[in-house]
């Protein structure tokens, strides 16, 4: 694709940057009111609140260059808090496989950020091998209602979510990929218990969700019974593309260099130390290579293609790069990064360094672990076959 920006692209870049400046959060402002106004204003620009949605569903219908510009401009801005599960993950599934009724019922609230969704895929015995999931959904005799029983784990933000999209087993007689059914239900339904899991970095983002006799009307099933695996896989590819975080890494890398320059080493700085400089240079080269891969993926998306198995390359390399940036930031902060608590010790950027580093361990696990991405790349991108 052509990444030379045309006069129209440059005008668009100015428009985006002006929008971000005009709608930036002002200290003291009511955060929630600002957040909702930001999305409203972005919607009024013609789908800027849902940049990746197709035009027929209210998206902006941008060219690849415009997507590229949006990503780069927004990476260094403070954007309103947003979860990926509704707009980025469930919405594409609804658009492709949901009925017109389901689209009309769920998409407007997803778009308006009125309803928070969470993702009920993983189970205690089904993570990488997701298809072995056991949460059972039994259809009533009259064919109106499913009764769901089982346990979901690592469910991000389940404690604040209003609804869950959930993979359930409706048949275990055939291949494990068959007999999986994709259901949607409210988190306040009777029979749902959410308990927190506190991760290494000390944060509460993930949960265990216990489902006991949860009743789900058949209208809340996406597509056909037993075909959920197909829908779930499509969603994972959208999830993986979104996890690469390339624009954010470009900003974080620039910040890392600035931080390293502020650490004095005699007459020079940490950034001048060959060992450190080499690691930063390697990171920079890898990030640039990934940026080009992302541009290719944007070009095919703009030509109408859904993300394919190449999204595993973006996920794998993107998350490894994010971890390397966190690790070098930790190194640059040295001992000060280990300070745990509200009071900063040493250079300002070192605050929370250790928590950030520990939390970043999860990047190469969620959305499918790195080993699994390598498997997908080997089979579906490189076309390799397992030797007998």
Ligand X SMILES: Cc1cc2nc3c(=O)[nH]c(=O)nc-3n(C[C@H](O)[C@H](O)[C@H](O)COP(=O)(O)OP(=O)(O)OC[C@H]3O[C@@H](n4cnc5c(N)ncnc54)[C@H](O)[C@@H]3O)c2cc1C
Number of residues in contact with ligand X under rule CB under 6 A:
19
Q: Calculate ∠ Cα 197-326-288, nearest 5°.
A: 125
End-to-end CA distance of the chain: 40
Which one, 23 or 315, has the nearer CB to ligand X?
Answer: 315
Cβ proximity to ligand X, 369 vs 377, nearer residue: 369
| Dist CA 166 CA 121 (whole Å) | 6
CB closer to ligand X out of 120 and 353: 120
- Single residue of 48, 121, 146, 229 touching ligand X by CB under 6 A: 121
Q: Candidates 150-158, 250-258, 259-267, 312-320: pick the segment binding ligand X (CB under 6 A).
A: 150-158
Rounded CA-CA distance 250/262 in Å is 19
| DSSP 3-state percent helix, strand, coil across the chain (nearest 5) | 50, 15, 35
List the catalytic residue out of 123, 225, 239, 331.
239
- Angle among Cα 109, 214, 191 to the nearest 5 degrees reads 100
Kindly report the number of other CB atoms within 10 A of residue 74's CB atom. 18
User: Which is nearer to ligand X, 13 or 156 (by Cβ)?
Assistant: 156
Least distance between ligand X and beta carbon 318 (Å): 16
Catalytic residue at 225? Answer: no
CB closest to ligand X, residue no: 127
Smallest distance from ligand X to CB 153, Å: 7
CB proximity list for 94: less than 8 A, separation 6 or greater: 102, 103, 106, 107, 110, 222
In terms of Cα–Cα distance, which of 256, 120, 126 is closest to 189? Answer: 120
What's the rounded Cα separation, in Å, for the pair 256 and 278?
Answer: 14
Kindly tell me which residue out of 47, 60, 92, 127 binds ligand X, with binding defined by CB under 6 A.
127
DSSP letter (8 states) at residue 129 = T
Least separation in angstroms between residue 361's CB and ligand X is 8
| Residue in 206, 328, 330, 354 binding ligand X, rule: CB under 6 A | 206
- Binding ligand X (rule: CB under 6 A), the pick from 156, 297, 326, 329 is 156
Q: In degrees, to the nearest 5, what angle opens at C-alpha 14 toward C-alphas 10 and 18?
A: 170
Specify the stretch interacting with ligand X by CB under 6 A; choose among 98-106, 117-125, 310-318, 334-342: 117-125
Q: Which is nearer to ligand X, 65 or 156 (CB)?
A: 156
3-state secondary structure of 164: strand
Shortest distance in whole angstroms from residue 158 CB to ligand X: 8
- Interacting residues with ligand X between 335 and 374 (CB under 6 A): 362, 365-366, 368-369, 371-372
Q: Which helix (H) or strand (E) holds 208?
A: strand 204-217
The rounded distance, in Å, linking the Cα atoms of 283 and 293 is 15
Task: Work out which of 154, 163, 229, 231 binds ligand X, going by CB under 6 A.
Answer: 154
59 contacts ligand X (rule: CB under 6 A): no
Structure-derived torsion over alpha carbons of residues 12, 254, 237, 93, reported in degrees to the nearest 10:
-50
- Yes or no: say if 51 and 247 are a contact pair by the CB < 8 Å rule: no
How far apart are CB 368 and ligand X at their closest, in Å? 6
Q: Which is nearer to ligand X, 126 or 325 (CB)?
A: 126
At its nearest, how many Å lie between ligand X and the CB of residue 105?
23
Chain residues that interact with ligand X, rule: CB under 6 A: 118-122, 127-128, 154-156, 206, 362, 365-366, 368-369, 371-372, 375
Point out the residues that are catalytic: 239
């Amino acid at each position: 694709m052509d990444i030379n920006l045309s006069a129209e692209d440059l005008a668009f870049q100015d428009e985006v940057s002006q929008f971000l400046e005009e709608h930036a959060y002002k200290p003291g402002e009511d955060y929630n009111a600002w957040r909702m106004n930001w999305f409203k204003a972005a919607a009024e620009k013609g789908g800027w609140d849902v940049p990746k949605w197709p035009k027929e569903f209210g998206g902006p219908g941008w060219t690849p260059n415009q997507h590229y510009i949006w990503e780069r401009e927004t990476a260094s801005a403070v954007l309103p808090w947003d979860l990926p599960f509704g707009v980025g993950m469930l919405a594409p599934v609804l658009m492709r496989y949901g009925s017109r009724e389901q689209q009309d019922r769920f998409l407007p609230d997803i778009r308006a950020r009125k309803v928070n969704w969470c993702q009920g895929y993983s189970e205690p015995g089904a993570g990488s091998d997701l298809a072995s999931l056991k949460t059972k959904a039994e259809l009533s005799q009259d064919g109106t209602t499913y009764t769901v029983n089982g346990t979901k784990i690592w469910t991000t933000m389940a404690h604040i979510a209003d609804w869950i999209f959930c993979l359930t087993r409706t048949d275990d007689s055939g291949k494990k990929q068959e007999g999986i059914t994709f259901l949607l239900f409210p988190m306040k339904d009777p029979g749902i218990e959410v308990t927190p899991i506190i991760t290494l970095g000390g944060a509460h983002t993930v949960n265990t969700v216990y489902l006991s006799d949860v009743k789900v009307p058949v209208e809340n099933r996406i597509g056909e019974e037993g075909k959920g695996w197909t829908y779930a896989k499509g969603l994972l590819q959208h999830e993986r593309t979104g996890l690469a975080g390339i624009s954010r890494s470009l900003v974080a890398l620039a910040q890392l260099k600035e931080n390293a320059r502020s650490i004095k080493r005699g007459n020079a700085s940490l950034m001048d130390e060959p060992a450190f400089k080499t690691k930063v240079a390697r990171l920079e080269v890898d990030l640039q290579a990934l940026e080009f891969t992302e541009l290719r993926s944007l070009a095919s998306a703009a030509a109408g293609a859904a993300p394919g198995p190449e999204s595993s390359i973006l996920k794998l390399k993107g998350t490894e790069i994010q971890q390397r940036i966190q690790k070098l930031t930790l190194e640059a902060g040295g001992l000060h990064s280990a300070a745990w608590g509200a009071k900063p010790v040493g250079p300002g950027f070192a605050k929370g360094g250790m928590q950030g580093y520990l939390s970043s361990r999860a990047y190469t696990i969620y959305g499918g672990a790195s080993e699994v991405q390598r498997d997908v790349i080997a089979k579906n991108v490189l076309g390799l076959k397992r030797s007998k």
